[in-house]
Structure 1
Amino acid sequence: MQHSVFSPMGPEAARIAELAWLLFLGGGAIFLLVMLALLLALGGGEGVRRRLGARRAILAGGVAFPVAVLSALLLHVLGVAAALGAGGREPALRIEVTGRQYWWEVRYPAQGITTANEIRVPVGRRIELLLDSGDVIHSFWVPALHGKRDMIPGRVTSLRFSLDRPGVLRGQCAEFCGTQHALMAMLVIAEEESAFAAWVARHKVPVAAPADPTLALGWQAFGRAGCGACHAIHGTPWAGRSGPDLTLLGERRSLAAGTLDNHQATLAGWIAGPQEIKPGNAMPAFNTVLDGKELRALAAWLESLR
């Protein structure tokens, strides 16, 4: 899983990584140069100190050198910024991402898909993310993908990129947004075009009532507990929008925006007591609403959504 600016997965992140290396190496070289001058001033002879303190040396080292270096760096940074901000070719896929306390809503308008906390993209295609916020200021940052983008309520910003190889990239909200800001992660899953097309096709298959008795009990528990008031599942009577869409929930790698690994046991624990796991989130506890059998059945049914 990539979560470093020094492990770029696409051309935009590679430009940012090159700029970071330039700053680190250039800053290190200048630091060593200054330390060398300091050592010469402290330990050199009278002639060395006299030359270092001469007007010409001060103007060269204290004025001309910084102006030349910073001017060159400014021009280079402006070039990188222009390249990152250039529109380029028209994006082949647009994805809408809304930051919420404390999760990410992800929508594919052209495909009619809504999901949460994971962004699936095909390798080699130009992608555009349209970013906004549903409550407070968030910041979208996937270090191996691109730079940061603030997500401000009432304003839509965009982020264009492409990925050159498959992989899983981890991202994080980079703007303090409340008590669970640190537990607001996301994954960007880059996959081959055929795998992405298969994922889109699976999302369009309506979820039918299960025949298995245990899974059927979980289906019934979902409806009886009122989960559909907040959550949607494609093809079912439930179409809530205030919580994450749960279609294909069983395929997701994590729960609660990267807080837990996703499997039946963690699903049951999250449903029973989400406030003990991630205090301050909007999910109520259902340990007093569902008995143990219903809770296990509901977790099993949700895990089966693939």
Structure 2
Amino acid sequence: MVSLNTPTAAPPGAPAGAAPAGRRPALRRDGRYAGLFLAPSLAGLALFTLFPTVMALGISLFDWPVFGERTFLGIDNYTHLLNDPVFRRVVLNTALFVVLYVPLNVVVSLGLAVWLGPKIRGRQAFRVLFFIPVMTPMVANVMVWRLLFQPGGLIDTGMQSWFGVDAPNFLGSSSWAMPAIVAMSIWQGFGYNFLVFSAALDQVPQSQLESAQIDGAGPLQRFRYVTWPMITPSIFFATTMTLITSFQVFAQPFILTQGGPGVSTQTIVMYVYNQGWQFLTMGLASAAGWVLFVIIMGITAIQFVGQKRWVHYDV
């Protein structure tokens, strides 16, 4: 008697691993069902992401006012951006924000995740507390920090009471405005990476840490040679996602400083917004958006190439 659980042999000449003939209709049916369930998401991706991206590339090649005649310019919009001192300053502002924000975000998130180990009492409450800023609307957070930073605010009052000195004009000084935006952004966003790192640390086998301790390894050595290699995939993921989002920073400088003083805190996304919706030059705004897209894609590609040197997936 043939068992019902015995797999049907593949016909002679069929490639190795090919599905038996009796299962092919079922696989095709499952594929159709999968496509049916994926269709809404794929349609949304095509309609709201792919189509606008391609459309923006086309618009960037034109003088495209909201009202009036549109003229083909070729790459003149991109040439204008390269020669525009304001855009060059905007790119430097964005790069400065990324250089300050990303390392500090990762260090703060990882440091708190390491500190909040299994032996800390109230660990779950701390996790919820650290994640609350991420869940709070960005605009609400920025408005609260604007009240803290302004002259006569809580920071200024506290420094006068404790140290007898006035706080710097954080939002009105070109030297302090960007650090203030970075500080606010770290408070807003560190909770996400904190949870990523905390989950990764929970997966590190305690037996290996105990073995290293028995062999005489101290806390720093255990972290360097045992914990760090095992959490490098999570660090790579968090760093990549944080880099991508930091290049798109908009709400913080837009609400805190409106890009000022001058253009000292204006970012690329703010430049796109101003060109598109204040000056109504959609072609130039689209060109700036594509410059940002290329920058993000280039840095992300470098990260993926460089991860082979330090990310360990087979630990």
TM range, smaller chain = under 0.3
Higher normalized strand content (fraction of residues): 1
TM-score, normalising length from structure 2?
0.21
- Flag the structure with higher helix content: 2
Q: For CA contacts below 8 A with separation 6 or more, give which structure has more relative contact order.
A: 2
